[in-house]
Homo-oligomer: A and B are copies of this chain.
Amino acid sequence: MNLILVRPEDYIKQHTVRLSDRRLAHIRDIHRAQLNQSLKVGEINGDIGTGMIVDISHTHVTLSLTLSMPPPPPLPITLLLALPRPKMLKRILQTVSAMGVKEIYLLNSYKVDKSYWSTPVLSPASIEEHLLLGLEQAGDTVIPNVHLRKRFKPFLEDELDAISLDSQKLVAHPYSAQSQARVSRAKTTLAIGPEGGFIDYEIDKFQSLGFNSLSLGQRILKVETAIPVALSKLFSF
């Protein structure tokens, strides 16, 4: 937790919040914070700054806030991700949130195990929990939007054109041979396949919508490695 995130309901008066959950535990046990100490604080979907401890006890901590800096800029990308297995999904939600992705579509694909769609990790509360962990890690405040799309074909046929409008369209998957990616800071829509890769039918569908291949090299990378590699190829970190 490199940034303590506060929400509207934490305010007890203007510029002052009172916290009593895992954030209190973190401030007490990890920061070992004292009265009058300043911590890095951000407001969900708002600015970043400092919170000075004006009161601290076993049950709560009260912070006086000065928030005036904007959060780090987002990546201009929409990420389409074949739904990973639940354990990996948790880490991936944290990673993409930390890296600044703000629009994420979790997609079905032929090689996505059907059982993955019934994992509790996909509950709104669990998704938000992992996104917040990523924001707290990276020092960002803006919660990404995660969209679930359990049907591949209707999503590509009915929605993807509008979603990817005016963007560079790329599809990365482990068995893609060529790379025609124009690397840029331009608005991008990037699709990343499941562990076994998208099947030919799915690749054809993406290509028919104007998606080009993004090669990640000769080595076959796990999805959780492929994501930071692909984002680093496309944007400067």
Q: Could you list which residues of chain A lie within 8 angstroms of chain B, going by C-beta atoms?
A: 2, 72, 94-95, 98-100, 137-140, 174, 216-222, 225, 228-229, 231-233, 236-237
CB distance from A138 to the nearest CB of B (A): 4
Complex formed: what's the CA distance from A222 to B1 in Å?
11
Most buried by B among A138, A222, A228, A229: A228
Among B98, B174, B222, point to the contact of A221 (Cβ < 8 A).
Answer: B98
Instruction: Check if A236 sits within 8 Å of B222, measured CB to CB.
Output: no
List the B side residues contacting A220 at CB < 8 Å.
Answer: 2, 98, 137-139
Contacts of A140 in B (CB 8 A): 219
Please, could you name 24 A-B residue pairs with CB atoms under 8 Å apart, sorted by A? A2-B174, A2-B220, A72-B217, A72-B218, A72-B219, A94-B222, A95-B222, A95-B225, A98-B220, A98-B221, A98-B225, A99-B225, A137-B220, A137-B221, A137-B222, A138-B219, A217-B237, A225-B228, A228-B228, A228-B232, A229-B232, A229-B237, A232-B232, A232-B233
Contacts of A218 in B (CB 8 A): 72, 139
User: What B residues does A94 contact at CB under 8 A?
Assistant: 222
Q: Which residue of B lies closest to A226 (CB)?
A: B228
Contacts of A228 in B (CB 8 A): 225, 228-229, 232
Contacts of A139 in B (CB 8 A): 218-220
Residues of B within 8 A of A236 (CB): 217
Query: With a CB–CB cut-off of 8 A, which chain B residues contact A100?
Result: 219
A80 to chain B, nearest CB (A): 20
Q: Which residues of B contact A237 (CB under 8 A)?
A: 216-217, 219, 221, 229, 233
Q: How far is the CB of A74 from chain B (nearest CB, A)?
A: 11
Q: Would you list the 6 A-B pairs with minimal beta carbon distance, nearest first?
A: A232-B232, A138-B219, A217-B237, A228-B228, A72-B218, A229-B232
Q: Chain B's nearest CB lies how many Å from the CB of A215?
A: 8
Note all chain B residues with C-beta closer than 8 A to A98.
219-222, 225
